[in-house]
Structure formats: structure tokens, C-alpha cells
Structure 1
Amino acid sequence: MEETHVHALDYVSVVGRRKWWLIVPIALSILVGLLLVRFLPKEYTSTATLGVAAPIVSPNLVNQASPLDNQERMRAMSQQLLSLQILARVVREEGLGSGAPNDPKVGGLRRRITITVPEPVAQTNEIRRLDTFIVAYGDPDPARAQRITNRLATVFVDENSKTRAERAEDTSMFIAAQLHASQVRLADLEGRLRKAKEAYMGRLPEQTQANLQNLSGLRQQLEANATALRSEQDRLSMIERQIDGLKQGNADVLFVPRGSDAALPPESRLLTLQRELATARAVYTDKHPEVQRLEEEIANARKDVLAERQRPEADRLAQLQLDPAYRQLSADREMSRLRIRELQRAGTDAQRQIGVYQARVEAAPMVEQQLATLQRDFDLEKQQYSDLS
């Protein structure tokens, strides 16, 4: 089989023989395009950009649903913009028709309107939130297309503003009602909380630290009081022993006042003479006249003491009342007894207060648990009232 060689001039020869196959289709295409441009109706499209911001209400005030996603926002925007209320108003204001629900102009206007979203300026990883929409309207008349597009945007903004104003008014009334109800509940909870705290006054959790400090102070006071009581009781015992010694005539406990020895009781005079004799013997011998005189007076004083002890008890007590030492000791004894009674009473009061504060500290956790629910309700209601106001 012989190989066939094709030269480039062969292609030129083919085109020369088949040139009308190429020229006729091209000429027909140009002619059809010119006819279409000349006789097809012209369509002009006018666009308007609308920015929509959803009203934000604190979720603490109302049970607000989750935010709309992009598809729902697009659907809501289309339904609102192509609603009968807006399109009928555009038809009436532009003089296109009566704007009745069955007016065919309304349907025709709806078919010529398209709603799209602008292309994003930059690609990001964040979820895009639709808040800008492009409204387009097509019409053979460019002036009418622009006029209707502007009218459509104006009517949409106006109707949307009216709707939002009505909603804002309803929302204001709703918030005012909620604010009043919250104020009533807050006052009720505040009153209940105040009464509960008054009922548990002294046992509140915030008073625990103060109660512990008072308890510690009372215990220290009780210990100091017990020490003072023991000391005063020892002093009273010593005073009573001295008084008993005076009554029994013990010379080692007698008090010797200044003055004439003749005015002293026999026991006191005997004690004085014995002391003077001890002093004289330290200086003189036993044969010294002063020592002999003192020994003689001591012998007489002992006789007087013996005679005094043989006297009736009533006479002895009457004579003892004249002794300054006895009177001083009696006064000291009464003062000591009074001091002991005061210390005992203070100790009893301290023990009673310790029991009271101990009971308050132990009751604080129970009181805190009982007040927790009421305090939580009060705090939540106060926060809600703050959000409403």
C-alpha cells in the first residue's frame, strides 16, 4: 500500500473549492444578530442595595429564638420585599394600576424583580452573615426601571420602618409591663429576704466571723474572771482566819494600832508587851528594870486576857467591836464577799453568752442553706430588673 503525502497547498485548494460553505453560515449569523438587535424588545435592569440589621433584644428579657441562618434570612427578605402590601403600594404610587390583590400589574411586577446577594470582598473562614441584599428590576424603559427600583426600595424601607416602629411600641409596652412585674417580684423577694434575715439575726453566715471573735473574747474573759475569783476567795479565807483569830485571842493575827496601850483590848495589849519585851531583851539583860517591868505587865496582861475569855460571849463581841483591827477586817470581809458575788455573776453571764454565741456559730450553716434559695431568687430577679431598666 502506497503512502499519500498531503501538502499545505492542498488545504488551501479545499477551502477555495468549499468557500461558500464558510461564507454563507457566517453571513447568516451576522444577519440574524442584526435582526435580533433591531427587532427584539430592549430590557434595562436597575439595581438597589439594601442593608438590613435584625433588631437585638436581650435574651434575658424574652425567650428569643436562635438567630436566623442565611437561607432563612434570604427567604424572609424575599417574602417581605415581594409581599402584596409593598408591591401594591409601588403599583399605586407609580400609577401602574389600582394595586388591588387581583391586579395583574402586581404579578407582573413580582416576576420582574430579582433578589440576590453581593459577592464577598474577601474569602474568610468565618461564616458569612447576610445583611446586604441587591434588588434588581428589569424593564424596557430605562427611566421607568430606575424609577420603579427606587420606589421599591423606598417603599420597602418605609414599610419596614413602620413595622419596626409598631414592634418597638409593642416591645416598649411589653418591657414596661415586664419591668413593673419584675419590680413587684423584687420588692416581694426583698421583703421576704429581709424578714428571714431579721428572724435569723445573729446566726447569719456573714456574722459568723464576728460571732467567733466574740466567742474567743468571752472565753478569755471567763478565764480571767475565774482567776480573779480564785484569788478573791483565797483573800476571803485569809480574812476570815484573821477574824477567827481575833475572836479566839490568837496574838499572831492581832492588829496593834497606835495610841495608848490602856485603850487596847487585852489580846492586843498582850501582843504589844510581848513585842516590847523581845526588843528590850535584845538590848538589856533579864535583870534590867525595863525588862522586869515588861515581864510584870505581861503577867498582868495575861490575867486580863484570861479574865476576858471567861467573860460572856456577848460582852466579848461588844468589846471586840471596839477593836479597829476587827472593824477593818470585817469591812474587808464584806467587800471581798461582794466582789466574789460580782465575779460569780459575771462568770455566769459569760458562760450564758458563750452558749448563745456557740449556738449561733453552729446554726450558721443551716441558716445559710435555708437562705440560699431565697437569696438566689432575689439575685436573679435583681439582674433581670437591671436588664429591663
Structure 2
Amino acid sequence: MDEQNFEISDFVDILKRRKWALILPTILVVGVACIVALLLPSIYKSTATILIEEQDIPADFVMTTVTGYAEQRIQTTQQRIMSSNKLMDIIQRFDLYSEYQDRWSTDEIIEKLSNDIQLELISVDTIDRRTGRPTAATIAFTLSYEGKNAATVQRVTDTLVSLFLSENLQVRQRQTTETTEFLEDESQRVRAKLDALEKKISAFKEQHINSLPEMMQVNLRALDNYENSNERINEQMRMLKEREGYLQTQLASIPETENTEKDRLRILELELVDLKTRFTDDYPDVRKMQREIAELKKRMANKAAMSDEQRETPDNTAFITLAAQLSSTRAEIKSLNQQKSDLMAKAEEYRMRIENTPKIEQDYNAMLLDRNNTQAKYEDLLQKVMEAKVAMGLEKEHKGERFTLIDPARRPEKPYKPNRLAIVLVGIILGGGAGIGFAALREFFDQAIHNSEQLAKVSSLPILVTVPDILTPADRKKRRAKQMAWSLAMVVGLIACVFAFHVWVMDLNIFWAKVMRKIPPM
């Protein structure tokens, strides 16, 4: 057809002319949509809401040992519940997916149940206490299950909620118990290490008792005392050495015995000299004196030839006194030498102690530092053990953060899906579009002339007269029959729509009650 300007009357003519091209595709598509809506199984969904309650006692007084954010614990608990063993127990308990038992494997059935279970977090905007920045905080979550049987869906959801709540309690109690046991074991291990360090320090102190850092001043004072004592001894020894030399000099000039024979010899020699001045050598007195002197010299010579043992004990009082003083002085010198040797040995010992003190101090301080750090760690662990025990009591008394069921699962009254009304509406829209498209295609490819205007345009000749449709009584009777059939079809369709609404959308009694509640009383 050539392009032309259409008026409303033209569209009316096209609609009358292509009504079956418009109606049949529409009925076909809508019919298919209705069949799909009727054949799809009803899926029910039951949902339970669980609130995340904070612990009753402020965290400033009792700090829980359960770590992690609520979202993490929820996801962790979900993974535990969604394990294959627990899901298989639920499938066997409620006889789920029996229609798939022969066609699907166990893993596929478990995956089907896992997909039908949904967990959604409920968050609110709040201010983080630690950072002061706005953030989303999870305050609750919903747990839902969808299936074909409303009663079974409710029971499965209740079971999942029970598993979730019990698993959360068990996990929290297990975490607090394991934390307490770990801290107790760690404190015992650190205590054993601390005892070993104490024993090691005690043995080290016992081994190096005189070289410890705290003995440094004592050792210095002792060394100073020994050095001063050594100087005094040296001074005493110098004085005693001088006295010894003096006594030796004096003793050398004094005979050991009182020598009367020498005195007698000297006297006799003097007397002999005197006699010889008066008498000759043959004079009897001279000869007698000479014999006496000879005998005396002979005795003195014999005494001089005798050994020290055969000599007589000294009897000279002055010699004996000086010899005693010399002996005493030498004894004192010997004693002072011994004392000096002892003092030097002691001083050397203290010098070694002082020299070893820096190295011993380094090792000693290292052990003390290790002991102090271990002691601080042990005290910190004891404090944590006490806090862990309080936290464990908090969990046992259910005073900590907990999950509370605030909206239990209810038995669904209508299917969750499919939305049959939406499917039918989509079918109607698609059917109308299909009918309009098919009618437009028929009209576009139609080359027939349907009115006088088209004929005048094609022939370029004037139209003299138009003959209207002539209806016979048989035609009128047939038209009335068609109208009655269409009316009956519309009534049947309306009844079918009402029945479908009652069955798949909402019970008519419930719908009527809702409508009546919204109508204000007269």
C-alpha cells in the first residue's frame, strides 16, 4: 500500500477488517500464559526474623572472649548448618525432594536444598564508637526456606532456626571454654618457665655470689682495706728490717760468753811483761808465768777448734738479750711476710671479682630481664584467665551477645511464587502486542481496495455511487448468534478469572474481608 494519511475512521475500518488477525494471536499467547501459570507448581516461603541482641552487662565491666563481627559469626554459623551431613538429615527427616530421588544425585539434592535456604542481613546506619564514622550495623537477619508444601516449609524453617540458635550458643560457649583452657595452659607453661628461671638465677647467684653487681661496692671497699693493710705491713716490715740490721750490728760486737780465759791471758801477759822488766827469763816466776800462759793459750785453741754443738751455751747476758730481740724481730718479719702473702692473695681474689663483675652483670641482668618479662607475662595471663572465666560465666548465663527469635516462621497462606497474575498480565500484554503486530503485518502486505477513497486514488476516476452492505435475515440471525456466543465466552472467562484468583492468588473470603475493612462505615 502507498503511504497515506490515516484518520480515526480508517483505524476503525482496519480493526473491523483485521479483528481475527488481532484476536487469534492474542488468545493464543494469553492461553499459553494461562497454561504456564496453571502448570507451574506453587512455591511457598516461610521466613523467621532473628534479632542480634547485645550483651546485658556493659563491655566496660565484662569483656567477652568471642571475637569477630556479627556478620562473620552469622556467616560462619550458616556454613556449619549448611554442611552436607546436616542438610542430608533435614532432607531425610522431612522427606524433601522425593520427586528428584530417582533422577538426581545426592549432591544435587543437597545443592537444591542449599539454594532454597536464604539468609538476609538487616542493617541500619549508625555511628561507629571507635572511629566516629557512619557505618552500617547488622541488627538482625532473616532465615527463610521455600518449597512446594506450606506446612513442610514452615517446619523446615523452624528446624533451621533451632539449628541456628543452638549452633550459635554452642559455638560461643565452646569459644569461651577453649579460650579459658588455652589461657590456663599458657599460664601454667609460663609459670613453669618462670620457676625454671628462678632456679637458674638462684644457681647463678650461688655460683657467683661474690661477683654479683650488688656486691661491687663491698668488693671495692674490701680491696681498699686490703691495700691499706698491705701498706701498713710494708711500713712495719721496713721498720723491723732496720731493727734487724741494728741488732745484728750490736750482736756482732758482743761475745756469746763471758771470756775469763782471755782476760786471764791478758792479765798474765801484762804480769809477764812486768816480771821481765825486773827479772831474766830463767827466773822461776817468769818461767812459771810463761808455762801458765802457754797452757791457757792451749785451752783456748782447743775451744776454738770445737764444733758449734760442742761449744758451751752462750752465757753472756747482753748477747742473750740482743739475740732474743733479733729472733723476735725476725719472727715478726716472718709473720708479716705471711700476712702480706695472705693479704695479696685476698686482694687478688677481690680484683678478680671486680674484673668479672661486668661480664657477670651482663649475664645476670639478661636473666633478670627475662625473669621480669616472664613475670609480667604471667601476671597478664592470670588477669586474662580471670576475665575469660567471667566471660565464660557470662555465656553460660546467656547474658552475652545472643540471637533472639522475634518473628517465628509462620505457615504461608499463599504461594510465594510463581506470580500467576503477573504471568497472565504479561501474557495479555504480549498477546495484545502479538495481535497488533500480526494485524499490522496483514494490513501492510494487503493490496486490496477496501473503500471508495482508495478506489478513486488508484483509478483517478470520480466515484458515482457506493453500494452499502445488504444484510439478509439470515445474516442478522447469524450476527446475533455470534454476539451471544461472545457474551457467553466473556461470562465464562470472568468466572474462570475469579476462580483462578480464588485458588492461586487469594481466598475470596479473605479478599472480601480486606475490602470491607478498607470501606469506611456509613
TM-score normalized with structure 1 length:
0.48
Larger RCO: Structure 1 or Structure 2 (Cα < 8 Å, ≥ 6 residues apart)?
A: 2
